[in-house]
């Protein structure tokens, strides 16, 4: 399985950094956690067949995690008609928004295009990849996701209030993709040890924090050694 960090920025796009979007590739299938950037462009740039998209999961409705769904639905409504992945959004507001957006541009959902609302607990399992949602306190509809595939467990924190406040109650994790915008990343140290997390990837952080951000990351890396930690950048990828 490969995890590709397509967009690692926080709520504001920055030079060379798109908003939140992570791709998981398992045996030729592509799944996305969040779509804060134009998913259709990501697929085109990487020459990924649209029909290989097998699931899109949105952690919460803030624009930097969800707006990229709109161009994806627009292009797959009339052109890439073979792309019908299950798409899970955090609430009915996004279901409505997708409908209004397509309507405004003169498109409509094909009957086979799928759009559902995430529910807490395990809400997706296609036999290749399983996704479980855990409520967080960042926004009324925010959730973290536990993704399981090929015997590995990956935690995506989504946006959270902070370590020690609403860190997901999940243990024995092969890789944790943790946000860095609403907290100091050095505060993750205790959670990483307590939850038996075996590798750490910080995304959704801003370069605006500049030096303090990297200093706090270096502190984190030293404090959890020998657990590997990476400050992700757009296009970086790992194999699990
Ligand atoms: Zn965000
Ligand atoms: Zn948010």
Tell me the per-residue pLDDT of 175-185, one tens digit each, with 9 for 90 and over. 999 999 999 99
Return the ligand number nearest the Cα of 62: 2
Assign 39 a pLDDT band (cuts: 50, 70, 90): very high
Return the ligand number nearest the Cα of 36: 1
Q: Residues within 5 Å of ion ligand 2 by Cβ?
A: 62, 159
3-state secondary structure 142-186: CEEEEEEECCEEEEECCCCCCCCCCCCCCCCECEEEEECCCCCHH
More confident residue, 138 or 215: 138
Alpha helices in 39-91 (DSSP H): 39-45, 63-66, 69-78
Q: Residue 114: helix, strand or coil by DSSP?
A: coil
Span from the CA of 73 to the centroid of ligand 1 (angstroms):
21
Mean pLDDT of 3-11: 94
Domain assignment of residue 180, given as a range: 2-239
Span from the CA of 64 to the centroid of ligand 1 (angstroms):
5
Q: Residue 73: helix, strand or coil by DSSP?
A: helix
pTM of the model: 0.96
Span from the CA of 183 to the centroid of ligand 2 (angstroms):
12
CB 113 within 8 A of CB 129: no
Rounded to an integer, what distance in angstroms lies between the CA atom of residue 88 and that of residue 93? 12
pLDDT at 239: 98
pLDDT at 206: 80
Span from the CA of 159 to the centroid of ligand 1 (angstroms):
6
CATH number, domain with residue 220: 3.60.15.10
Tell me the per-residue pLDDT of 47-104, one tens digit each, with 9 for 90 and over. 999 999 999 999 999 999 999 999 999 999 999 999 999 999 999 999 999 999 999 9
The total domain count for the chain is 1
């Amino acid at each position: 399985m490969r995890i590709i960090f397509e967009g690692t920025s926080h709520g504001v796009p920055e030079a060379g950094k798109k908003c939140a979007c992570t791709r998981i590739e398992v045996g030729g299938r592509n799944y996305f956690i969040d779509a804060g950037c134009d998913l259709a462009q990501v697929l085109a740039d990487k020459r990924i067949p649209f029909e290989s998209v097998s699931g899109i999961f949105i952690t919460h409705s803030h624009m930097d995690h969800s707006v990229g769904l709109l161009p994806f639905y627009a292009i797959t409504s009339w052109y890439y008609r073979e792309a019908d992945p299950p798409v899970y959004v955090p609430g009915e507001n996004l279901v409505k928004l997708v409908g209004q957006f397509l309507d405004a541009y003169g498109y409509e959902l094909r009957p086979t295009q799928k759009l559902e609302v995430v529910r807490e607990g395990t809400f997706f399992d296609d036999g290749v990849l399983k996704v479980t949602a855990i409520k967080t306190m960042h926004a009324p509809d925010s959730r973290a996701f536990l993704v399981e595939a090929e015997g590995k467990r990956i935690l995506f924190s989504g946006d959270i209030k902070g370590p020690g406040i609403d860190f997901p109650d999940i243990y024995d994790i092969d890789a944790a993709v943790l946000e860095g915008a609403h907290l100091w990343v050095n505060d993750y140290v205790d959670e990483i040890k307590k939850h038996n997390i075996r590798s750490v990837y910080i995304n959704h952080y801003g370069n605006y924090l500049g030096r303090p951000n990297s200093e706090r990351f270096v502190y984190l890396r030293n404090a959890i050694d020998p657990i590997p930690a990476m400050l992700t950048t757009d296009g970086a990828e790992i194999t699990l």
